[in-house]
Amino acid sequence: MNKKTVRDIDLRGKRVLMRADFNVPLKEGVITDDTRIQAALPTIKYILEQGASLILMSHLGRPKGKTPELSLKPVADYLGKLLGQEVKMAPDVVGDEVKAMADALAPGEVLVLENTRFYGEESKNVPEFAEKLASLGNVFVNDAFGTAHRAHASTEGVTHYMPGVAGFLIGKELDFLGKATGDPDRPFVVILGGAKVSDKIAVIENMLGKADKLLIGGGMANTFFKAQGLEMGDSLVEADALEMAKSLMAKGGDKLVLPVDAVAADAFDNAANYKVVTVDAVEPGWRILDIGPKTVSLYKDILKTAKTVVWNGPMGVFEMENFAKGTFAIAEVLAELDAVTIIGGGDSASAVAKAGVADKVSHVSTGGGASLEFLEGKVLPGIAALEDK
């Protein structure tokens, strides 16, 4: 990674403005999953140990203006318990009172700003708003990989007014994803799933030039089958993506691998009747909801020789128990590999967690959209804005 991190700068006596990803699920003001807060802790603790004061900012949900139920107060309280110290809560994102609280911080003290998206200027990246944020500190640390693909005031705008470096979480993401897409140990296998091929066209095109094999699963496989002239019954098919699917198959050749069998059901329901069929035997009124056992076996054979694997997107409707077997089987295969295994956030991260193997893969990305755009070969604005080494 050619970006500076918190280790590359002197933090002693500095007021650090840090963008974290505290977009956590809340139920009646109680945090129900603290994964994102835990992920930010190594950078937070390091900054405080270096003798700096810390101002933390994040968004939470999609508020329409100042929405009390989407306040970051529960996050500040929770973080205080984790750190074993008082974490101050700002009454707003910017303003005279917030500025006075930031200026008054002593080394080792922490202040959490209110939800950055209480202001429309955040997502519009309004320079005046970014400048107000930047005025709160004298060095910027971005550790919110999940929003690094957005050019917002708190991710990109502030770097026009102060130097910016990466936190440990972004550093880890760039190390794993950068190596996989730039200089992978081979064979390099990419697994792509999810509902729509249109969501993954750019990834497929980029990865066909980098990977040794590209394994397809999920609803997106149906569009490839339909493009081959197979009947898909009531399966999800993107009619306007058929020509693109034909083009990708022609370009991919034997590098692009499709399922050979599937689990088909007579309704989109966990209680539906279901059976294993070959992909050319989907009956009218039935739909494909998972990959079948022969496909799992085929993919396992390809994966067992891999040295680098990137997986983005489930193999079926894994939220329903009867159509989760393919996704969980792939997760279990990855957990046993002697390879670098990277899970691309979003539903894939949820799937490995549900399969109980999240701790047995090399890296679970914290950013679904950000990791997808990285795999597409796009420049992430929140990363590009940080200082080079």
Structure tokens at 71: 């306040």
61 catalytically annotated: no
Say if residues 309 and 334 touch (Cβ distance below 8 Å). yes
Per the rule left: phi > 0, alpha: psi between -120 and 50, beta: everything else, 190 is: beta
How many residues belong to the chain?
389
- For residue 275 the two structure tokens come to 């059976």
Q: Indicate if 62 belongs to the active site.
A: no
Q: Which amino acid is at 71?
A: S
**193 tagged catalytic:** no
Mark whether 346 is an active-site residue: yes
When computed from its CA atoms, the radius of gyration of the chain, rounded to whole angstroms, is 23
Active-site residue identified among 36, 117, 226, 325: 36
d(CA 59, CA 389): 28
Residue type, 344: G
Question: Six-digit token pair at 289?
Answer: 């909801």
Catalytic residue among 80, 108, 178, 369, which?
369
Nearest to 58 by CA among 82, 90, 103: 90
- Residue from 218, 346, 367, 382 carrying the catalytic annotation: 346
How far is Cα 338 from Cα 357, in angstroms, rounded to an integer?
A: 14
**Summary count for the chain: helices (H), strands (E):** 14, 17
Give the active site residue among 45, 196, 246, 300: 196
Residues annotated as catalytic are: 36, 196, 346, 369
